[in-house]
Structure 1
Amino acid sequence: MLSARQLFLQHQAQTTDFPLLLEVERAEGVYMYGPAGERFLDLISGIGVSNVGHRHPKVLQAIQEQLDKYLHLMVYGEIVQAPPAQLARALSQTLPPGLDNVYFVSSGSEAVEGACKLAKRFTGRSELIAFNNAYHGSTQGSLSLNGSESFKRAFRPLLPDVRHIRHNAEQDLEQISNRTAAVILETVQGEAGVRVPQKEYLQKLRKRCTEVGALLILDEIQSGFGRTGTFWAFEQFEVVPDIVTCAKGMGGGMPIGAFISRREIMHSLKNDPMLGHITTFGGHPVSCAASLATLEVIQTEGLLKEVALKAEQFKQQLVHPAIQEIRNCGLMMAVEFESFAILKAVIDTAILKGLLTDWFLFCDNSMRIAPPLTITMSEIDEACSIILEAIRENVRY
Structure 2
Amino acid sequence: MLSPRQLFLQHQAQTTDFPLLLEVEKAEGVFMYGPNGERYLDLISGIGVSNVGHRHPRVLQAIHDQLDKYLHLMVYGEIVQAPPAQLAHALAQTLPAGLDNVYFVSSGSEAVEGACKLAKRYTGRTELIAFDKAYHGSTQGSLSLNGSESFKRAFRPLLPDVRHIRHNSFPDLALITSRTAAVILETVQGEAGVRIPAPGYLEALRARCTQVGALLILDEIQSGFGRTGTFWAFEQFNVVPDILTCAKGMGGGMPIGAFISRQEVMHSLKNDPMLGHITTFGGHPVSCAASLATLRVLQEENLLGQVPAKAEAFKKRLVHPAIKEIRHLGLMMAVEFNSFETLKAIIDNAILKGVLTDWFLFCDHSMRIAPPLTITFPEIEEACALIMAAISEEVRF
TM-score by length of 2: 1.00
Q: Which residue of 2 aligns with 1:244?
A: 244
**Partner AA of 2:232 in structure 1:** W
Residue 32 of structure 1 deviates from its aligned partner by: 0.2
Residue 373 of structure 1 deviates from its aligned partner by: 0.2
Q: Which residue of 2 aligns with 1:140?
A: 140
Q: Which residue of 2 aligns with 1:234?
A: 234
Q: Which residue of 2 aligns with 1:311?
A: 311
The separation in 2 between residues aligned to 1:138 and 1:386, in whole angstroms, is 33
SS in 2 for 1:208: helix
**Partner AA of 2:18 in structure 1:** F
Q: Residue deviations 1:108-147, cap 9 Å, x none?
A: 0000000000000000000000000000000000000000
Aligned residues: 397
Task: Summarize the alignment of residues 152-301 of structure 1 with structure 2, pairs less than 5 Å apart.
Answer: 152-301=152-301
The separation in 2 between residues aligned to 1:327 and 1:204, in whole angstroms, is 23
Q: Which residue of 2 aligns with 1:364?
A: 364
The separation in 2 between residues aligned to 1:354 and 1:242, in whole angstroms, is 43
Q: Residue deviations 1:356-386, cap 9 Å, x none?
A: 0000000000000000000000000001001
Two-structure CA RMSD over aligned residues (Å): 0.3
Q: Which residue of 1 aligns with 2:355?
A: 355
**Partner AA of 1:94 in structure 2:** T
**Partner AA of 2:295 in structure 1:** L
Long gaps (5+) in structure 2: none
Q: Which residue of 1 aligns with 2:63?
A: 63
The separation in 1 between residues aligned to 2:37 and 2:274, in whole angstroms, is 53
The separation in 2 between residues aligned to 1:98 and 1:372, in whole angstroms, is 30
**Partner AA of 1:333 in structure 2:** M
The separation in 2 between residues aligned to 1:229 and 1:261, in whole angstroms, is 23
Residue 197 of structure 1 deviates from its aligned partner by: 0.3
The separation in 2 between residues aligned to 1:317 and 1:26, in whole angstroms, is 29
Matched, 1:388 2:388: yes
The separation in 1 between residues aligned to 2:199 and 2:52, in whole angstroms, is 28
- Structure 1's consecutive aligned runs of 4 or more residues displaced over 4 angstroms after TM superposition are none
**Partner AA of 1:122 in structure 2:** Y
TM-score by length of 1: 1.00
Long gaps (5+) in structure 1: none
The separation in 2 between residues aligned to 1:157 and 1:249, in whole angstroms, is 32
The separation in 1 between residues aligned to 2:170 and 2:262, in whole angstroms, is 27
The separation in 2 between residues aligned to 1:204 and 1:394, in whole angstroms, is 44
How many percent of aligned residue pairs carry the same amino acid? 84
Q: Residue deviations 1:44-71, cap 9 Å, x none?
A: 0000000000000000000000000000
The separation in 2 between residues aligned to 1:273 and 1:78, in whole angstroms, is 17
The separation in 2 between residues aligned to 1:238 and 1:395, in whole angstroms, is 42
The separation in 1 between residues aligned to 2:373 and 2:168, in whole angstroms, is 28
Residue 37 of structure 1 deviates from its aligned partner by: 1.0
Q: Which residue of 2 aligns with 1:32?
A: 32
The separation in 1 between residues aligned to 2:230 and 2:343, in whole angstroms, is 30
